[in-house]
Structure 1
Amino acid sequence: MASVVEAEPFSNDPNRLWKEWFASGKRICKKIVAPVEFQEPIHRDKVRFVCISDTHEQLDKLLPHIPNGDVLVHCGDFTNTGDREELEEFNKAIGKLPHPYKIVVAGNHELGFDETEDQSQREEKFQGHGTKEGYKLLTNCTVLHDKMIEIYGVKIYGTSWHPLENFTYYRPRGNPLLDKWNLIPEGVDVLLTHTPPLGHGDLWKGEYRWGDVDLLNTIEHRVKPKFHVFGHVHEETGVTTNDHTIFINAAICSHDLEVINLPILFDVPLKPGFTKS
């Protein structure tokens, strides 16, 4: 039976925990190259995933550079404020892509998606923005939130919670956020979140660790997915591993919201009894 994950002491001080765990070598984080190169053909016995995140109303500019695959995943912040016009433009753009399956999780900028949000806590510039139940406008993709979907036998779970205050889907670090990670079932092959775990693709402005320690513990001690895809920290696009899970920060835009990165690809071998035909 998998270990029960309890809230980590000092969860509110990710920098301290990173120094204690990663800088000391107690936890593993190795930078690696992208699992699949763009020119590699799509295999009949493998499911090709194409990963993007944090396109911030720039998806149209990226379209010519997105390779085909079986599953496209977008890990949030496809808008800047979640307003209806932004959602309609994103839905139109993602509808142009040929991928048979398009899976999306919302980010902190998809204002209005989280019905539990205390909107009075938003920054002034975000007041009055967003679309209630805006995810219903996204008819050209499947939106996952605290939900799992199975494609070609591959189990994919998506969730949008994060620890950044004053935005939609915010929960404080510690037990409130861990309660959401505890909803992630075991047996997941591909985990999609908006926020990174501690230590993997989470360094903001070269100084602050934005990753969540309880998400890391959930991944390493209980769920143990083959892949974890996220975004949120624009400066840290790339791939790392702890020698079991491959972590992918798929952020596309720079902090200035310019398209500077390409999608990241990976393959999942088909399980016995499953085909893509």
Structure 2
Amino acid sequence: MSGLSIPIHPITHNPTEAWEQIKPTQRVIKLNVKTPTTPQNENMLRFVCMSDTHCLTSHLQFEIPDGDVFVHAGDFTRCGSAIEIEEFNSWIGSLPHKHKVVIAGNHELSFDPKFTCGPAARQQHKNAHTGGGLINEIPDLGIERAKLKAAVEAENTVNLITNATYLQDEPLTICGIKLYGTPWQPEFCNWAFNLPRGKQCLDKWDAIPAETDVLITHTPPVGHGDLCCTGVRAGCVELLSTVQSRVKPKYHVFGHIHEGYGVTSDGKIIFINASTCNINYVPVNPPIVFDVPIPPGFSK
């Protein structure tokens, strides 16, 4: 890991304004990427990326392209209940891809220790009958409060992901290509894997190895696939700095902001918002596919 220290932007808590300050030094190139129609090359690893399917895989309006590695960048459930995870695990198990990689998002409440263990969670369970507790402090987003409580009371839900490799602040190497997956994001409705902007987010990004080829986060970096329909940017300033200055992956895959779906580049890194659902939670955005050269000495 590089010893380069990433500074915290002075107005990191206002990513919209922070982006306006740094934008003159940035390039954002919108790319129109189509699903490859050519056969897979033996010297390339084909990635098929989705995110934010929110229990709607049975309503997909497209076929899942074939490939070597299937990536899901989080929010595969509505609240992380056991039955939602089991349904997702069954669906992903039906896909033909040899390698399958999953990270969590802010909707996977039962994957976040903040809700499932420790003093805050224990107090939540203790006070549940009075209407208090941590789970009652988050917006329900149209989900029954009882379902949210039941979701976080289920134990070891991560273990229900048996048909894919689940990454939580972890690296994974496939055919010599180095991946890293992390679910954290700046505070967003105080749901799962939320952290205050600035140092606490940067602490998570500092753990990303500098030699990562494909970075998978749930949150976008500021300036790429993070513009909300309200005109506000939701991406992380320090994540962009980390990606551009220290990690320098070939590809950065994420989701979270549904209306940010698409592919951009700064001229060096390809940024992919693979959100499957649109702003209305309709799963209309097809997977985004890309090929990565396999390093010498490795093969499929």
Range of TM-score over shorter length: over 0.9
- Structure with the higher helix share, 1 or 2: 2
Paired position in structure 2 for 1:252: 276
Deviation of the 1:6 alpha carbon: 2.0
Q: Please state whether the residue corresponding to 1:239 is helix, strand or coil.
A: strand
Paired position in structure 2 for 1:243: 267
Paired position in structure 2 for 1:16: 17
Deviation of the 1:88 alpha carbon: 0.7
Distance 1:68 1:97 in 2: 9
Q: Please state whether the residue corresponding to 2:238 is helix, strand or coil.
A: helix
Is 1:150 aligned to residue 173 of structure 2?
A: yes
Deviation of the 1:207 alpha carbon: 0.5
- After superposition, the C-alpha distances for 1:91-119 in whole angstroms (9 at most, x for unaligned) are 11111000000000100000110113455
Moved over 6 A (4+): none
Q: Which of residues 286, 289, 292 is equivalent to 1:262? A: 286
Deviates more, 1:6-15 or 1:142-151: 6-15
Deviation of the 1:20 alpha carbon: 1.5
**Shift in CA distance, 208/133, structure 1 to aligned 2, threshold 3 Å:** farther
**Shift in CA distance, 212/268, structure 1 to aligned 2, threshold 3 Å:** same
Is 1:28 aligned to residue 27 of structure 2?
A: yes
- TM-score between both structures, scaled by the size of structure 2: 0.87
- TM-score between both structures, scaled by the size of structure 1: 0.94
Is 1:75 aligned to residue 73 of structure 2?
A: yes
For the 8 Å contact 2:70–2:99, the answer to whether it is kept is: yes
Deviation of the 1:63 alpha carbon: 8.4
Paired position in structure 2 for 1:190: 214
Distance 1:63 1:69 in 2: 19
What does 1:44-55 correspond to in 2, within 5 Å?
Answer: 44-55=42-53
For the 8 Å contact 1:82–1:129, the answer to whether it is kept is: no
For the 8 Å contact 2:60–2:284, the answer to whether it is kept is: no
Deviates more, 1:250-259 or 1:111-120: 111-120
Is 1:128 aligned to residue 149 of structure 2?
A: yes
Which has the greater radius of gyration? 2
Unpaired runs of 5+ residues, structure 2, are 122-133
Deviation of the 1:129 alpha carbon: 4.3
Distance 2:257 2:269 in 1: 19
Question: What percent of counterpart residues are identical?
Answer: 44
For the 8 Å contact 1:113–1:132, the answer to whether it is kept is: no
- What number of residue pairs does the alignment pair up? 273
**Shift in CA distance, 234/267, structure 1 to aligned 2, threshold 3 Å:** same
Deviation of the 1:256 alpha carbon: 2.0
Distance 1:140 1:159 in 2: 19
Q: Which of residues 71, 95, 102 is equivalent to 1:104? A: 102
- After superposition, the C-alpha distances for 1:9-31 in whole angstroms (9 at most, x for unaligned) are 11000110111122xx2111111
Q: Please state whether the residue corresponding to 1:210 is helix, strand or coil.
A: coil
Distance 1:27 1:3 in 2: 20
Paired position in structure 2 for 1:87: 85
Distance 2:8 2:18 in 1: 13
Deviation of the 1:197 alpha carbon: 0.1
Deviation of the 1:166 alpha carbon: 1.3
Paired position in structure 2 for 1:66: 64
